[in-house]
Amino acid sequence: MSRIQARFSALRKEGRGALIPYLQAYDPDYETSLALLKAMPKAGADAIEIGVPFSDPSADGPTIQAAALRGLKAGATLAGVLKMVEDFRTTDQETPIILMGYLNPIDSYGPERFCVDAAKAGVDGIIVVDMPREEADLLDTYAKREGLDIITLVAPTTTGERLRYVLDGASGFVYYVSITGITGTSSASREQLEEALPRLRQATDLPVAIGFGITTPEQAKTASRIGDAAIVASALIKTMASTLTAEGHATGSTVSSVIKQLEQLAAAVRS
């Protein structure tokens, strides 16, 4: 059983959904983002999504775009992000790690080499935002061979026919993009989520994680109960960015501020 399957199975027995925080690798520097990554499980992260900095993050709003630029300025590379996961695994062998990024860096790195190195580093799942199902064979064979889940993205606009097609053979969990638009710009209401989830449940037995626009503890609680997990990204990055110097450097409150916010989100999900 993979780490992702094991975690969702354990949470089902607890009777609650998961909290999945997001951080951008190398934001604002390698040491700070690694410290944040290592502190997240104790603060309540059930799994962690790591963004791979990319210069043209088309699905991301201004908050994550700025984080990606800080990460690139700090020297982020795909190999460096894998090294960060490897460093995390020296102290944590339990928490699922999912990389989220775009296809160009993976294609440049080499799809087979990427899957081999990602699995070796301790990655459990991959989200490739701009890779449609029709092009998934670029990674599918290598990912399956290495035991990596390619997480499928679906949106409110995904038709029933398309839903059946993209979820055929899916693994890990389904990432429900709860709004039409970019990250961090709006939020789906409880009513919208309650209307959307039954359609997804009919199409797959996989856990459904809800992301895009979840910012408050109450929203995280609602999403984790209507779905199987709440993914929080921009809200945590905004907090981190607010602690940086004018030059974009970390300060003494950078990690602690994000961890405090994560603890509040985790408390709501567990309440």
Total count of residues recorded for the chain? 271
Sign of the CA dihedral with 94 first, then 95, 101, and 105 last: negative
Q: Is 130 one of the catalytic residues?
A: no
Check if 60 is active-site. Answer: yes
CB 152 within 8 A of CB 125: no
DSSP state at residue 67: H
The residue from 60, 117, 149, 228 that is catalytic is 60
Alpha carbon distance 15, 61 (integer Å): 33
Strands of the sheet containing 97-101, edge to edge, are 149-150, 125-128, 97-101, 48-51, 18-24, 229-232, 208-211, 174-177, 152-154
**Which string of DSSP letters, residue by residue, matches 137-180?**
HHHHHHHHHHT-EEPEEE-TT--HHHHHHHHTT--S-EEEE-SS
Q: Which one from 29, 49, 124, 149 is the annotated catalytic residue?
A: 49
Single out the residue of 65, 32, 22 nearest to residue 254, CA to CA: 32
Residues designated catalytic: 49, 60
